[in-house]
Amino acid sequence: MQALNSSVKIAVIGAGAMGSGIAQVAAQAGHQVYLQDQQAGAAEKGKAGVAKVLQKRVDKGKMQQADLDALLSRIQPVDALEELADAGLVIEAIIENLDIKRQLFANLESICGEEVILATNTSSILVTSLGAQLKRPERLLGMHFFNPAPLMALVEVILGLATDKKLAEVVHATATAWGKKPVFATSTPGFIVNRVARPFYAESLRLMQEQAADPATLDALLREAGSFRMGPFELMDLIGHDVNYAVTESVFSAYYGDFRFQPSLIQKALVEAGRLGRKTGQGFYSYAEGAERPTAATQPQQSFTEQPVIIEGELGAASGLAERFKQAGLNVIERAGAGVLRYGEATLALTDGRMAGERLVTDGLQDLVVFDLAKDYKNATRLAIAAAKQTSTTAINDATALLQKAGLAVSLLSDAPGLVVMRTLAMLANEAADAVLQGVASAADVDLAMCAGVNYPQGPLSWSDNLGQGVIWQVLTNLQASYGEDRYRPSLLLRQYAFTGQSFSV
């Protein structure tokens, strides 16, 4: 499908954080852009904000002054809605309120031509509800940018019940022409990213609540073992707890209280205390001048004694760890067995979603130490371990010494089922699989959205493909049994793929 020609005029309504950024994106692509805001002077201020940001690029020699001047000449602040009459695409980025947005679209229908495409940047209101009272609801769709719009590549193109698919394709092609990475999604709560990302925050909040580890340790593990750019606590502090909590609450209530989306009391307390994160100087961390960031809990250095590392059977998802031991020059002996590592007194096994204490008893593994998933064992710099109450201190120290010898910092957590990276990935993949099962988006679009929208190191579905759906399904099944909670119920699609051996092929 053809993108809108750059001669088509674009109107952006609402010149706040999002609207100004969207106006910049459209102007950069060569369109004439109207920028309208109901507040006097706001549109000029929005344009001035764009000029200020881009002037820095000119000053650094990354942009020509003439190009900036030309771009700014294409953004035209306007006062009245009537001045947008000849726009071909109108993108609304005003206050997040159903009635006010509905009224705006009703007004636009009477001002603009019949061929206009109406788009909303809403994060949480269903496109279907916004279109309900329109004369031409088929011409309304979602065009959900991420903040800051000029920098974030993702645009979720949202189809309401009535949306004309051809128009959605035009908008998709237009977003591509604007240098974005668009995906299609149906109008369901949270669309793709705001739904699938919930467990990234929720599982760490829960681990913290259960005193498995503190925020600095969990953040470090998701960065250094999980390869996520930021840990969940530092990211929530950046987003603002008021905003992050409101999104979680809205998705939770929109899914009729599904416990997968249950908000956290810890975050609620921060919101009520006014500890909103960076913007108030205090969230999980302090941002006061001179405040030092707490460091991750790390096991003290243990002395390594030369003895063989025995690998019994296939390590599956953890085979990269065996490679790492070999590269570190350790004496690795391989023999048949149930997929465990033995070193000194310790028996080490990749977490399967059970507590070490339960697994030690059930599987008869003495001195068991479970370790976490790493995105890439060869390059990870830190790994979480947990031990059963019955595991000896010598075994924990042996396991620590072995991992340290291979160059890993080790964080010892309490015996939390699924540890951190494995549990987070399992829940992200579960949510992503359900979104695919329910036809919200294709597997490829879900993965693209999570990489382009929130910078995940790999899409949760292709990551799950790499491990095998059986691994993820088993972890979830064990988590569900551990907690006895519906929250961890595996998606039907993961269960199906675990048994059929299918993959998401993304």
Binding flag, residue 142, ligand NAI (CB under 6 A): no
Q: Which are the contacts of 319, defined by CB distance < 8 A and separation ≥ 6?
A: none
Question: Least CB distance from residue 450 to ligand NAI, whole Å?
Answer: 16
Question: Residue 415 and residue 23: Cα distance in Å, rounded?
Answer: 50
Q: Which of 4, 11, 19, 370 binds ligand NAI (CB under 6 A)?
A: 19
Give me 223's structure tokens.
């960065």
Cβ distance to ligand NAI smaller for residue 158 or 443: 158
Question: Least CB distance from residue 134 to ligand NAI, whole Å?
Answer: 16
- The secondary structure of the chain in percent helix, strand, coil, rounded to multiples of 5, reads 45, 15, 40
Cβ distance to ligand NAI smaller for residue 95 or 437: 95
Question: Least CB distance from residue 247 to ligand NAI, whole Å?
Answer: 9
Identity of the amino acid at 463: W
Question: If you compute the radius of gyration of the chain from its CA atoms, what whole number of angstroms results?
Answer: 26
Segment near ligand NAI (CB under 6 A); pick from 38-46, 276-284, 379-387, 393-401: 38-46
Q: Which of 6, 28, 38, 55 binds ligand NAI (CB under 6 A)?
A: 38
Cβ atoms within 10 Å of 372's Cβ, excluding its own: 26
Cβ distance to ligand NAI smaller for residue 121 or 491: 121
Cβ distance to ligand NAI smaller for residue 33 or 42: 42
Interface pattern 51-90 for ligand NAI (x via CB under 6 A): ----------------------------------------
Question: Residue 193 and residue 450: Cα distance in Å, rounded?
Answer: 6
Question: Least CB distance from residue 174 to ligand NAI, whole Å?
Answer: 18
Nearest to 414 by CA among 396, 428, 426, 398: 396
Binding flag, residue 17, ligand NAI (CB under 6 A): yes
Give me the sheet containing 89-92, strands edge to edge.
Answer: 75-78, 33-36, 10-13, 89-92, 117-120, 140-145, 154-159, 181-186
What residues from 372 to 431 belong to the interface with ligand NAI (CB under 6 A)? none
Q: Could you tell me how many residues of this chain bind ligand NAI (CB under 6 A)? A: 23
Burial string for 293-327 (b: 16+ CB within 10 Å, else e) reads eeebbebeebebeeeebbbbeebebbeebbebbee
Binding flag, residue 13, ligand NAI (CB under 6 A): yes
Segment near ligand NAI (CB under 6 A); pick from 12-20, 126-134, 336-344, 486-494: 12-20
Cβ distance to ligand NAI smaller for residue 146 or 473: 146
What residues from 111 to 140 belong to the interface with ligand NAI (CB under 6 A)? 121-123
Binding flag, residue 460, ligand NAI (CB under 6 A): no
Give me the sheet containing 346-350, strands edge to edge.
Answer: 332-335, 309-312, 340-343, 346-350, 368-371, 382-387, 409-412
Continuous segment of H or E residues that includes residue 96: none
Binding flag, residue 156, ligand NAI (CB under 6 A): no
Cβ distance to ligand NAI smaller for residue 1 or 95: 95
Placement of tokens 């698919």 in the chain:
165
Give the end-to-end CA distance of the chain in Å, rounded to a whole number.
23
Binding flag, residue 11, ligand NAI (CB under 6 A): no
Binding flag, residue 104, ligand NAI (CB under 6 A): yes
Segment near ligand NAI (CB under 6 A); pick from 83-91, 95-103, 157-165, 307-315: 95-103
Torsional sign, CA 268, 269, 272, 275: negative
Positions marked active-site: 123, 144, 156, 194
| DSSP 8-state symbol, 83 | G
Question: Least CB distance from residue 352 to ligand NAI, whole Å?
Answer: 37
Cβ distance to ligand NAI smaller for residue 105 or 252: 105
Question: Least CB distance from residue 168 to ligand NAI, whole Å?
Answer: 18
Cβ distance to ligand NAI smaller for residue 13 or 476: 13
Q: Which are the contacts of 314, defined by CB distance < 8 A and separation ≥ 6?
A: 339
Give me 273's structure tokens.
């205390």
Given the rule CB under 6 A, which residues bind ligand NAI? 13-19, 37-39, 42, 93-96, 100, 104, 121-123, 145-147
